[in-house]
Amino acid sequence: MYKPGYLELLEKGELAARVRDLNELLFECRLCGRRCGVNRLAGERGYCGAGKLLEVASSCLHRGEEPVLTGGFGVGNIFLGRCNMKCVFCQNHSISQPEGNTGSDWSISTAEIAEKLLRFQKQGCPTAGFVSPTHYAPQIFEALNLAAERGFSLPVIYNTNGYDSMELLSLLDGMVDIYLPDFKYWNSEYGYIYSDAPDYPETARKSIREMYRQVGTLLTDPSGTAVRGLIIRLLVLPGGIAGTGDVLRFIAEELGNDVFVSLMSQYYPAHKARSFPPLARKLRPEEYSEALEILEELGFENGWVQDPVTSPDSYLPGIDFEL
């Protein structure tokens, strides 16, 4: 039976110390690639809008993730409020880029998150995930520590946009079982224009290399449910903006074509996208087909693809069939 790395750290007496080290990153915040340097422990808020207290927009049993993560039941997902990027096409913009003060609605203690994790396990979830966790990593892993002390033992998914700092990832080594990063853009200009993150491509490359070093290729239990490893999500964008072909070549050359890739065609113009052509339109089937051809040419055999005709009409990331 698989044993999560955080349990090994707990048994060695190292998990709480690791959480304390994570909290040190809040003093001059350097959790993400932006490294805005505010003192969140003193109540200052960073570029993302996050301060000292944990904010959770939603927690639920989520069946819309890749099948290997849900185990036919669903992932116990905790969706963190706010985001360290400002993607103009964000489908979750009400959560990631909220208007006004959400503090009274979203504020939650680490003890309450620990209770949610334990409840997911009791309900039968095979995995638990943190969605958009980067800017609240110290708080959520404090909650994980509390839950682990009370018997929590599910593999933990770190579902990130890929804009994580190396300081953060080095401390997460052994604490995360499954990394689930996006790789949004290959071109730094597009990172700046569409997400206000010109260094996104460089940061994502470093981050994903480190994630792969920590957890390697995806491993599953006898039932076929993931317990450890890396899955990279690639959302194909209109007009070639994502540079999906270049990203796939990077993965194949530096990590290997046995890495699990989720190639998504579900783009539709949400949030402010209609003011940013060509993001003002849906993805064309032929654009997705081009990315799929490159995926196949490079020899990727592990992962999932989508139907480019039907997937943009669904809010959830419906994964349709294996390669």
Return mean pLDDT, the chain: 94
Gap between the Cα atoms of 159 and 178, Å rounded: 8
Asked whether the beta carbons of 164 and 32 are under 8 A apart, the reply is: yes
What does the DSSP 8-state code read for residue 185? -
Q: 105 pLDDT band (50/70/90 cuts)?
A: confident
Name beta bridge partners: 235: 264
DSSP states along 98-139:
--S--HHHHB--HHHHHHHHHHHHHHT-S-EEEES-GGGHHH
Domains in the chain (CATH in brackets) are: 5-322 (3.20.20.70)
User: What residue type is 134 in one-letter code?
Assistant: T
Asked whether the beta carbons of 127 and 225 are under 8 A apart, the reply is: yes
- State both tokens at 302: 């592990």
What's CA 143's distance to the chain center, in Å?
A: 18
Handedness of CA 60, 125, 226, 54 (dihedral sign): positive
pLDDT value at 321 more than 60: no
pLDDT at 311: 78
Task: Please classify residue 126 by burial: count the beta carbons closer than 10 Å to its beta carbon, then call 0-12 exposed, 13-18 middle and 19+ buried.
Answer: buried
Instruction: Give the tens place of pLDDT for each residue, 131-149.
Output: 999 999 999 999 999 999 9
pLDDT at 314: 58
Asked whether the beta carbons of 95 and 57 are under 8 A apart, the reply is: yes
- E strand residue ranges, the chain: 56-62, 75-80, 128-131, 156-160, 178-181, 219-220, 226-235, 260-264, 303-305, 321-322
What does the DSSP 8-state code read for residue 14? -
Of 172, 177, 160, 183, the C-alpha closest to 80 is 160
Asked whether the beta carbons of 36 and 29 are under 8 A apart, the reply is: yes
Q: Are strands 321-322 and 303-305 parallel, antiparallel or unpaired?
A: antiparallel
Instruction: Give the tens place of pLDDT for each residue, 263-307.
Output: 999 999 999 999 999 999 999 999 999 999 999 999 999 999 999
Asked whether the beta carbons of 224 and 68 are under 8 A apart, the reply is: yes
pLDDT at 322: 30
